Homo-oligomer: A and B are copies of this chain.
Amino acid sequence: MGSSLKEIAERVGTSTASVSIYLNNRDTKRVSSAMKKKIDVAAKELNYRKNIFASSLSKSESKVIGILIPSNIPLFKNGYTNSLLSGIQSSLALKGYSLLFFPSSASSSKENVQEQLQNSAGCDGYILFSTGFCTMEHILWNIRELENTGKPFVTLNIPRVSKEVNQIIIEDLTSLRSLEYLLDAGHEKILLILGRTNGEHMQFILTEYRKILKQRKIPFDNRRIIYGNYSHKDTFLKVSNFLAVHRDISAICAMSDLMASSSLAAVKATGLTVPGDISIIGRNNSLYSELSDPPLSTLEMKIEDAGRSAADLLFEQITNPATCRKIFISGEIIERQSVNEKS
């Protein structure tokens, strides 16, 4: 049964203060060693465990970080998000912080975060996630709400925000560095495989795409964009259909390793070879790219680093509230065996 400090104090005949003082600092000189022993015995016998809610309330410090996620689809399913979380957790755990994930039931990203925030005052800080589905308006709204809490927070996974907000900016979230790599290798006719048609991230990427094409004086061709929905089946089908009609491309640039893998399967199924006939590059350096045959070149985005940085920046804020900076995480191309120079 859950016992309290009071019960221990009564049993050993002292005040709760002494018990609390001792249990929070075993080296304290304010409790005699005889008393220390008695408290230890009583605590064990009574199965004492500190109530985190009482302690946090009393100290006005909880050592708990709230993770705000603007969606109510099941968590821990997305490899990308998991990497971020892994980075965050590994760094915060070292500093003694717990992570709290709230439920939410709303349908919009704005309301989800609001709902999560509504009942979570008392956390020492927050990390605000975003997804490609959050509109810039919702993101800014959520940031405003967070500012109002007066608590430290860091935003993750969103494009740069001009506000003075602590922010981790994953540069390659909206870059097309892998496309440029293919272009630099001499490819011009490239099939671009994006994630979904909606969502802000893809809009940024499309804008970037047009910019790069213009720079290189390559005409924009709408047919050379496919939306794979981050799904194996969708991508395989759409790429197969594409190749059935257009055989003139020399490379495929996919916005995820999964979609790159699926594209690879589709290319092989048509009898073409990689990288002989078609070069392929993925994104995220997940195991899919390493396990493919041939192993796929990819854009390593350093997601876990981003998570760790977010945690570090949050911690910095907790210890020094004046902290205000943006940390940029930039990735790098991992060269494997799926891209040839185009002569």
Contact = CB atoms under 8 A, between A and B. Distances in A.
Interface stretch (A74-82, A132-140, A312-320): A74-82
Nearest to A150: B1
Contacts of A2: 121-122, 149-151
B290 A288 contact: no
Counting contact residues on chain A (CB < 8 A from B), the size range is: 35 or more
A77 B115 CA distance: 28
A262 B291 CA distance: 7
A85 interface: yes
A64 interface: yes
Interface stretch (A32-40, A90-98, A156-164, A217-225): A90-98
Interface stretch (A49-57, A198-206, A237-245): A49-57
Nearest to A64: B100
A57 B64 contact: no
A93 B82 contact: no
A101 B54 CA distance: 18
A179 interface: no
A35 to B, nearest CB: 20
Contacts of A290: 232
Contacts of A186: none
A93 B98 contact: no
Contacts of A85: 75-76
A52 B120 contact: yes
Given A2-B149, A74-B89, A94-B105, 16 more contacts: A49-B117, A51-B121, A52-B119, A52-B123, A53-B62, A75-B86, A75-B89, A75-B90, A76-B82, A82-B82, A94-B103, A95-B103, A99-B100, A101-B101, A232-B291, A258-B287
21 contacts: A2-B150, A47-B148, A47-B149, A49-B120, A49-B149, A50-B120, A51-B57, A51-B122, A52-B119, A53-B62, A54-B57, A64-B100, A74-B87, A74-B89, A82-B82, A92-B103, A98-B100, A100-B100, A101-B101, A232-B291, A258-B287
Interface of A: 1-2, 47, 49-57, 62, 64, 72, 74-77, 82-83, 85-87, 89-90, 92-105, 117-123, 148-151, 232, 258, 261-262, 265, 268, 287-288, 290-293
